Amino acid sequence: MCGIVGYVGHEEAVPILIEGLRRLEYRGYDSAGVAVLQGKKIEVRRSVGKLANLEKSLRERGLTGEAGIGHTRWATHGKPSEANAHPHRSGPCVLVHNGIIENYLALRQQLQKDGYEFESETDTEVVAHLISSHLKKGLRLVEAVRVATSEIRGSYAIAALSETEPDKMVVARSGCPLVIGQHKGASFVASDVMAMLTHTRDVTYLEEGDIAVVTKSSVEVMLADGKPVTRPVSQVTWDADAAEKSGYPHFMLKEIHEQPQTILDTLRGRYSFETGEADVPDVTMTKEQFARAGKIWIVACGTSWHAGLVGKYLFEEMIRVPVQVDIGSEFRYRDPLVEKDDLFITISQSGETADTLAAAREAKRRGARVLSIVNVVGSTLARESDDVLYTHCGPEIGVASTKAFTGQLTALYLLALHLGRMRNTITAEEGKAWLERFVMLPALVRRVLGREAELVSMAKRYHTKRNFLYLGRGINYPIALEGALKLKEISYIHAEGYAAGEMKHGPIALIDKDMPVVVMAPRDRLYEKTVSNLMEVKARGAPVIAFVTEGERELGKAADSVFTVPDVPAVLTPILFTVALQLLAYHVAVLRGCDVDKPRNLAKSVTVE
């Protein structure tokens, strides 16, 4: 996903911009560029591919200057190419943009009629020309940006520089995040706070529709109509080192191993053994308000959607309320039967996923109460929700989500307990019993991680296969989906997750000796049924990889490979199986020589639909 950085100060801009872009690399991108005010002229350098290519071009033709903007682009309109990379120039103005301009075709035609020539296929160039056309009429840069943003429809975070006003950057946001930081006579701009953490931790998040004029010593924020507005300065508490690999070969492996800590951090201080309740003060919904909710909705995308599916099983068991789970992109274009006072839960690591955000806005419009489980503090979803339950996982850099997912499951356990106590479907005694199990999770996950070597051997045995099937039942059906997603995301092996009982309605046709079948078979009430499904697989010659709970014997004999997790109540098994499946996917991908942290075509945060 695209990333924006900007700098105005007393130091050379290029190294600062490149360092900022490097910190945004984890978001996924296919080209990059910078523009720097050199003397009175703005010079642009752009290249396709990794940042190293841009750095090479900057070494060949240096750029000096103390104000500049930079961008990593993840193609939406037009292929990855130098011409389509940002910054885009029009007259004296250069611009970087995240998001999508929906009415760009109409604007492009109008601008072409007015004599503007387009060098790229992007929607962004339209905005550059619009701003430039307003500068030509004598408007100041801020006014030109303000008028231009009133003419575009869609989502954007932009940063613009102009040769006509060399001492400033003008930035604006609507639908995409933008943050401004200041430190010792210098100002920084970025689409993600991570880009500026080595320079400052005092930051201002722009709100929807805000425009800001940023100089080395000042930040003036205004609303879309030009009225000045004050936005608070917040302190970022986690440091940039949290974003380093700490000796692990990949961020993903580091993040997998951080899970005992991140689960603990998500639980920490949020329960009371005395009352058997979850203590989640950010969820301000009252008992009466929840009593009015006829239904619980859970909407999310990708891995977060899998967490939502686990949530359904948890909530229906612990709260006894109907739960509907939807994918964000499906929900937003239906006419969903959301009723006033329904509880609408969204789950998102980034808090910026366009489809999830749109679903939350739609639900709010229909009178539902929106509660979001989010990892990124201050993200748009967090700010727009009635209630927020943060997962305290720290920044997740690996594109394939790992610790954020188990953090989401942990938050869902807490929420299920909280809501169950509100509805009296869980007594204080039962609440205490649940809590006792939850707090054991970090230690149990550590035990799974301690047996990584077994998963490395398993990966060695199967990494050359081209297709995998993942099966699970009940609360572990979503874990089969997540296990398959993890494998396909980072190893590019085709993998499908299926409800074990549904296997004979189709996928069984694919099964042969070259298709390993991974199955989750905890000793729960569905165990016998899962074993029968496996025997069907076995009879067709497929290698069976069984993930079971301690004490299991039958499958141990029948399966080709077995991995055992601690024996815990069924509702807790998803986290333990997940951690093992993450490690399996990781080691398969490494053995296949894949770029684990930045898988091809994927983006960390999908802020366009």
For ligand G6P, the binding residues (CB under 6 A) are 301-304, 348-350, 353, 356, 399-401, 602-606
Provide the b/e sequence for 279-304 (b: ≥16 CB within 10 Å). ebeebebeeeebeebebbbbbbbbbb
The conformation of residue 352, written as its DSSP 8-state character, comes to -
SS3 content of the chain, % helix, strand, coil (to 5): 40, 25, 35
Token pair 């619009």: residue: 130
245 catalytic? Reply is no
Q: Which of 168, 403, 486, 604 is catalytic?
A: 604
Between 36 and 397, CB nearer to ligand G6P:
397
Q: Which of 2, 176, 301, 594 is catalytic?
A: 2
Q: CA-CA distance, 72 to 257, in Å (whole number)? A: 29
Between 356 and 578, CB nearer to ligand G6P:
356
137 catalytic? Reply is no
Between 8 and 252, CB nearer to ligand G6P:
252
Between 160 and 400, CB nearer to ligand G6P:
400
Residue with the closest Cβ to ligand G6P?
A: 302
Q: CA-CA distance, 35 to 158, in Å (whole number)? A: 14
Note whether 344 and 338 are within 8 A (CB): yes
Least distance (Å) between residue 191 CB and ligand G6P: 14
Between 165 and 482, CB nearer to ligand G6P:
482
Q: CA-CA distance, 228 to 226, in Å (whole number)? A: 6
Q: CA-CA distance, 609 to 597, in Å (whole number)? A: 23
Token pair 């099966």: residue: 471
Cα-to-chain-centroid distance, residue 360:
16
Please name which of 147, 150, 144, 154 lies closest in space to residue 124, comparing C-alpha atoms.
Answer: 154
Least distance (Å) between residue 190 CB and ligand G6P: 17
Least distance (Å) between residue 602 CB and ligand G6P: 5
Least distance (Å) between residue 353 CB and ligand G6P: 3
Least distance (Å) between residue 483 CB and ligand G6P: 14
Least distance (Å) between residue 396 CB and ligand G6P: 8
If you count them, how many residues does the chain have?
Answer: 609
Number of Cβ within a 10 Å radius of residue 350:
26
Between 200 and 356, CB nearer to ligand G6P:
356
Q: Residues near 480 by Cβ (< 8 Å), separated by ≥ 6?
A: 470, 471, 472, 497, 498, 499, 500, 518, 519, 520
Any idea which residues carry the catalytic annotation?
2, 604
